[in-house]
Amino acid sequence: MTVFGITLSAAVLWLTAAAVLAIIEAFTLGLTTIWFAGGAVGASIASLLGASVIVQVIVFLAISIILIVVTRPIVKKRLNNKTEKTNIDAIIGQEAIVEEDIFPHSNGQVRADGKVWTAASSKNEIKKGVVVIIKDVRGVTLIVEEKE
């Protein structure tokens, strides 16, 4: 193919398309065009191996679709780790004050987030008035440990 008097192979055109798509991805960071850049690289390799234009387009589409289906959910999960804790999960890690003694195999009560909660400790006895840290929530019971 000749563009502006310069003869270019299909492989160069596919690599140019891959570069443009990668640059667009770098500016947008939207995980939209990077998959197609991978497909364009695959099509470029197919071109170098002597595949027809139809086969190159099929390779481009197939690789792009495979990359989208297989890798996009993994990448989105890794990049979208800024989840905000809501409801009961937000209380984990907070301090609470023991309102009723807590024994290893018997529930007591703590005041956390302005409310009285049933609380348990698997390690040791915790006396009334002691400050504890909420480690977990099991059902409606807070699992707490004494603050050091």
Distance of alpha carbon 36 from alpha carbon 54, whole angstroms:
17
Do 21 and 50 reside in the same domain of the chain?
yes
What secondary structure letter does DSSP report for 139? T
The verdict on 45 and 28 lying in the same domain is: yes
Which segments of the chain does DSSP mark as H helices, in order? 10-28, 34-48, 53-79
Stated pTM of the model: 0.50
Same domain assignment for residues 22 and 75: yes
Beta bridge partners of 110: 98, 117
In a shared domain, residues 75 and 139: no
Q: Residue 42: its pLDDT value, please? A: 95
Output phi, psi for 72, to 5 deg: -60, -45
For residues 38 and 12, membership in a common domain is answered with: yes
Digits of tens for pLDDT over the chain (148 positions)? 555 666 668 888 999 999 999 999 888 877 778 889 999 999 999 999 999 999 999 999 999 999 989 987 887 777 766 656 556 777 888 999 999 999 887 899 999 888 899 999 877 889 999 999 999 888 888 889 888 8
- pLDDT in the model for residue 83: 59
User: Do 108 and 60 share a domain, yes or no?
Assistant: no
Residues 43 and 95 grouped into a single domain: no
Structural domain harbouring 57:
2-79
Domain endpoint, select from 79, 96, 113: 79
The reply to whether 50 and 97 lie within a common domain is no
Give the CATH number for residue 141: 2.40.50.140
Q: What is the pLDDT of residue 85?
A: 57
As a whole number of angstroms, the longest Cα–Cα distance in the chain is 87
Same domain, 45 and 22: yes
Structural domain count of the chain: 2
Both 73 and 96 in one domain: the answer is: no
For residue 26, give Cα distances in angstroms to 16, 19, 37, 90, 120. Answer: 15, 10, 12, 34, 50
> Do 75 and 16 have their domain in common?
yes
What is d(CA 42, CA 10) in angstroms, rounded to the nearest whole number?
12
> Which of the listed residues 25, 48, 79 is the one where a domain comes to its end?
79
Distance, CA of 54 to CA of 10 (rounded, Å): 12
